[in-house]
Structures are given as C-alpha cells and as structure tokens.
Amino acid sequence: MKTLLAPVALGDLKLLLASATKGSGLLFGRSVGKVTVIERLFPVPPGAWEPMITALAGREDELVGVYFLERRPRLTDWMLGRLVMSIREGQAALATCEWHRGKRTLVPLLEEADA
C-alpha cells in the first residue's frame, strides 16, 4: 500500500508538532486501489472517541485511521484494518492495526516500490 500526505494534512501535522502537546485524533482521506491519501488530521479530545465515531456513522469510508502524538497507541476493535500514525520526537511512522495471535497489534506499513 502506498500512503501519501496531502498538503493540507502536512500542514495539520506541522501544526500539531508545533503545539508540543500530547494527543490523538483521526486521519481522514481516501483510498483508491493501492493508494491511500491522508487529507486531514483531526484532533479528538480525551473521552470523546465514542461520540466522535458514532457521529461519523455513514462516513466510515473517509475515516482511514488514527494518530497518536507523543502517546503510546491504545488500540481498539474499530481500528482493525485502519492506519495508525504514531508521531514521536517529530517523526511519524505508519502501521496498520491487525489481529495477530489473539490480540490487536501494529504491523509496520511497508511502502510498495513505484513501478
């Protein structure tokens, strides 16, 4: 899978890094074939995850994953099969949340070589 950050999402990421706070949020974008474009990073306040997911009913195709900024990822069932961006010390790493050996785990995302 190839994952791209749209210019607006890159701006969101820079703003989050400049804020120097811990947090988490949602990744919005689109998947077309083997390419996923992350269009926006949207912060979610602590304790607001369930209401936010409920409010997004019907728009699940736009929700491509979650991010964790200077926090350890806390994986839940609705994250299975979605992207997880872990941002620590100014570096972002992408993985997918998968079910492995009876538990949710992060599988690093390997970018496909361009043909």
Asked whether residue 115 carries a pLDDT value surpassing 80, the answer given is no
CATH number at residue 9: 3.40.140.10
**Per-residue buried b or exposed e for 8-26, using 16+ beta carbons within 10 Å of the residue's own CB:** ebeebbeebbeeeeebbbb
pTM here is 0.84
Whole-number pLDDT of residue 61:
75
In a domain, 98, yes or no: yes
22 - beta bridge partners?
Answer: none
Between CA 11 and CA 49 the distance in angstroms is 23
Q: Which of the four pLDDT bands, split at 50, 70 and 90, describes residue 111?
A: low
In a domain, 92, yes or no: yes
The tally of domains found in the chain comes to 1
Between CA 76 and CA 97 the distance in angstroms is 9
In a domain, 39, yes or no: yes
**Which residue, 110, 58, 104, is CA-closest to 81?**
104
pLDDT tens profile 8-54? 999 999 998 888 778 899 999 998 888 999 999 999 887 787 788 77
The residue segments making up the domain with residue 22 are: 2-108
In a domain, 114, yes or no: no
Whole-number pLDDT of residue 29:
94
pLDDT tens profile 41-81? 999 887 787 788 778 777 777 889 999 998 888 888 888 88
In a domain, 113, yes or no: no
